[in-house]
Chains A and B, each alone.
Chain A
Amino acid sequence: MYRYDEFDATIVQERVQQFRGQVARRVAGELTEDQFRPLRLKNGLYLQLHAYMLRIAVPYGLLSSKQMRKLAYIARRYDRGFGHFTTRQNIQFNWPQLPDVPDILQHLADVEMHAIQTSGNCIRNVTSDQFAGVAADEIEDPRIWAEIVRQWSTFHPEFSYLPRKFKIAVTGAPDDRAAIRVHDIGIRIVKNEAGEVGFEVWVGGGLGRTPIVGVVCRKFLPKEHLLSYLEAILRVYNLLGRRDNIYKARIKILVQATGGDKFAAMVEEEWEKIKNGPLHLPQAEVERIHRYFAPPAYETLPDMDPAFETAKLENPEFARWARTNLVKHKVRGYAIVNVSLKPDGGAPGDASADQMDLLADLADEFSLNEVRVTHHQNIVFPNVRKRDVYALWQRLRPAKLATSNLGFISDIIACPGLDYCNLANARSIPVAQRLSRHFSDPRKLDDIGELRLNISGCINACGHHHVGHIGILGVDKQGQEFYQVTVGGSSKDDASLGKIVGAAFSEDDIVPAIDTIINIYLANRAGKGERFLDYVRRVGVDPFKEALYGPATARRPAAE
């Protein structure tokens, strides 16, 4: 993985000192809370319902075992022994004290980490495919470009006071695991007809109050021009994005209002003027960063490992986990191992300090000292020899880290919701916990098959409910927590936004409602091969409406 050189280290260290000064000025009353807010937000520090929340960047989801151990240390010393992994591959701590934050940042800087631009109206932490560099279907490794974008966007003097937050995702595989179509900018590594590798650039996607699937801004961008092209998009947005209404300020609104083609033409015009300027990427820099991501020295192994096969035959529980949680590695004899942070009845994405320490130890022992955080709020061991998988599972299991539900209905994405967040209208975590307990029978999960269920506690959509195959949105009805349900969303290469099935359900009715939806699907699908998402796309929302609210004729208009 990328290691800081003296310059990276200097910049992060200077940021710690700068923030220490800003906190001191706030504590001394030299800064008002209004003046301090944008400064702390640019460093991922939010004021939540009960306390400050610190969001730490995990650039494109990559963590060394040493960094993971440091997160465990921070969880123990400055939090209540937990951390929460987020949909942007970051980690949040919910209970730090303001005067401690500079010290936490120093601890992070010591292991080449930071909280820079994890919040605020600036370019946020760059996200990517959690299987980058090890996926069998990859064209090229996206991490090199994610790192180049990370550096360019860090303390960008021109783009630190944008109309609104700005999220960039990069993927190197045709199977889009980074949800690039619902990002402000999505970068796909592609090969053109001439066989050259470059980027397809998407723009104007996003969730939140106005969910929109992005549009292609440029079909093929030569690699050397990545930064100048991004700078052109950001400059157009910075000058023309709306600043009169926070809910209309994202780039997606500008792209929709301008029209995708016209927006692309404006970017092109700007880019023509700067593409051969100082942002032109020197090959030496690309190669320098590339070297950090050189494949490790893999052993030459047979693709089938007898011990692994025997363990599966002898232990059905292990066999099931291996079937659901392993992904094909690009190197023979290796596997990508997914660790679910969604145990039955657990809070999605939460990990205890002890679990983090264990994950770090297991990474050292089994996965070349590295783990990944996924935007589904799970953890990945990217490089495990098949022969070690059984031993790894045996160590994960007692720590409640061996739930075999990856990609199933209980692998729920959820925001922190009203338990922590002062924007939320409703709680997300208890609903996720009840659903995961309700759908905990492995046979039931297998029967339902692939299903993405996402929960957001409010319209800001941090839980990505619009792109869940089933989405649940917390709403407020006269002071009561209610839950609106959508079906048919996807964040993958077939990205789509879910459709609302009808009136929202009370806290007591939401789990039975989801159960009804599942039963309708199971009873009416065209065989097991038709996934829930395929079924919804074939039949629409009507069968669900009818089952949930009664026949259309009997329904009062208010039920819509």
Chain B
Amino acid sequence: MALLQHGALQPNNWRFVGDDAAIPAEEPVTVSLKRWQAEGETLRGRNTPIGVRLKNDEQALALGEDVHRLSLIEVEFPKFTDGRAFSQARILRDKLGYQGELRGIGNILRDQYLYMTRCGIDSVELPEGKPIDGYLAALKEFSAWYQPASDGRVTVLELRHPAKASTRRSGATFISESVAAHSA
């Protein structure tokens, strides 16, 4: 699988390692939440980037302060109708203040990609060679936003009441650079 990130299809250097498999020393890998919780002490000591793959029914909050030690968190869209990962992403960004890469994996359709970026997801896994024009176009289909989300886009409310904007934005949510670049 390749990655759609920073507006282009990129090679994916990461690999998920199952709970029973050995973790390679040099390669960036993600592990399950269960494994992270059991072997976190050891995994933290590695000199190679480490990440966690969060299942749909697992609580993002369970990662707690550990998120700041992770370079990647993967959230799953097992089918495109399953929207739990949207909430998991927002909890990771807004509540835990996670600033690393947040990746959507699974059934990623262009018509959901915009919502994913709004929820703070900044990379998605796509099949190798998948045309990405549609995905990039989907990000430009809207130019105004009613809700504050996890992408730092200026909302309609802030545009309507500019005086409020500075105070409201100080409580700010994390702004993903790649998302900001996309929306520019």
B137 to chain A, nearest CB (A): 8
B119: chain A residues at CB < 8 Å are 157-158
A39 to chain B, nearest CB (A): 6
A279: chain B residues at CB < 8 Å are 147-148
A161: chain B residues at CB < 8 Å are 80-83, 86, 112, 115
Contact yes or no, A151 B87, CB < 8 A = no
A277 to B118 alpha-carbon distance, docked (Å): 17
Interface residues of A in 374-409 (CB under 8 A from B): none
Residues A157 and B114 in contact in the complex (CB < 8 Å), given A10-B143, A239-B88 = yes
Contact yes or no, B141 A17, CB < 8 A = yes
A278: chain B residues at CB < 8 Å are 148, 155, 168-169, 171, 173
A24 to chain B, nearest CB (A): 12
Partner of A11, one of B81, B87, B146, B163: B146
Number of interface residues of B (CB under 8 A): 40
Number of interface residues of A (CB under 8 A): 41
Does any Cβ of A come within 8 Å of B35's Cβ? no
- 0/1 interface trace, chain A 1-45, chain B, CB 8 Å (1 if under): 000010110110011011001100000000000010011000000
Does any Cβ of A come within 8 Å of B144's Cβ? yes
Residues A7 and B160 in contact in the complex (CB < 8 Å), given A35-B109, A39-B111, A152-B146 = yes
Does any Cβ of B come within 8 Å of A288's Cβ? yes
Partner of A157, one of B81, B86, B141, B163: B86
A151 to B163 alpha-carbon distance, docked (Å): 20
Partner of B142, one of A11, A121, A282: A11
B83: chain A residues at CB < 8 Å are 121, 158-162, 238
Interface residues of B in 137-184 (CB under 8 A from A): 141-149, 155-157, 159-161, 163-164, 168-169, 171, 173
Partner of A7, one of B149, B156, B163: B156
A288: chain B residues at CB < 8 Å are 160-161
A21: chain B residues at CB < 8 Å are 141
Partner of B86, one of A5, A158, A284: A158
Contact yes or no, B161 A158, CB < 8 A = no
A274: chain B residues at CB < 8 Å are 94
B78 to chain A, nearest CB (A): 10
Residues A5 and B87 in contact in the complex (CB < 8 Å), given A161-B81, A279-B148 = no
Does any Cβ of B come within 8 Å of A155's Cβ? yes
B88: chain A residues at CB < 8 Å are 239
Partner of A158, one of B90, B142, B168: B90
A391 to B177 alpha-carbon distance, docked (Å): 64
B47 to chain A, nearest CB (A): 35
B82: chain A residues at CB < 8 Å are 161, 243
A282: chain B residues at CB < 8 Å are 157, 161, 164, 168
A243 to chain B, nearest CB (A): 6
A123 to chain B, nearest CB (A): 11
Contact yes or no, A10 B144, CB < 8 A = yes
Contact yes or no, A5 B142, CB < 8 A = no
B66 to chain A, nearest CB (A): 18
- Chain A residue at minimal CB-CB distance from B151: A157
B126 to chain A, nearest CB (A): 15
Q: Is the interface of A mostly helix, strand, loop or mixed?
A: helix
Contact yes or no, A160 B115, CB < 8 A = yes
B141: chain A residues at CB < 8 Å are 14, 17-18, 21
Residues A235 and B156 in contact in the complex (CB < 8 Å), given A157-B114, A157-B115, A285-B161 = no
A235 to B95 alpha-carbon distance, docked (Å): 13
A284: chain B residues at CB < 8 Å are 160-161, 163-164
A158 to B109 alpha-carbon distance, docked (Å): 15
- 0/1 interface trace, chain B 75-104, chain A, CB 8 Å (1 if under): 000001111101110100011000000000
Most buried by B among A18, A38, A282, A284: A282
Contact yes or no, A158 B159, CB < 8 A = no
Most buried by B among A18, A121, A157, A284: A157
Contact yes or no, A277 B114, CB < 8 A = no
Most buried by A among B86, B163, B168: B86
Does any Cβ of B come within 8 Å of A156's Cβ? yes
A22 to B116 alpha-carbon distance, docked (Å): 19
A288 to B162 alpha-carbon distance, docked (Å): 14
A35 to B112 alpha-carbon distance, docked (Å): 12
Contact yes or no, A156 B142, CB < 8 A = no
Residues A11 and B144 in contact in the complex (CB < 8 Å), given A157-B86, A161-B81, A239-B87 = yes
A15 to B148 alpha-carbon distance, docked (Å): 19
Partner of A238, one of B87, B94, B143: B87
Contact yes or no, B86 A238, CB < 8 A = yes
Contact yes or no, B81 A235, CB < 8 A = no
B87: chain A residues at CB < 8 Å are 158, 235, 238-239
A106 to chain B, nearest CB (A): 16
Contact yes or no, B84 A239, CB < 8 A = yes
- A sample of 17 cross-chain residue pairs with beta-carbon separation below 8 angstroms, ordered by A number, consists of A7-B159, A10-B144, A18-B142, A121-B83, A155-B142, A159-B83, A159-B86, A161-B86, A235-B90, A274-B94, A278-B148, A278-B155, A278-B169, A278-B171, A284-B163, A285-B157, A288-B160
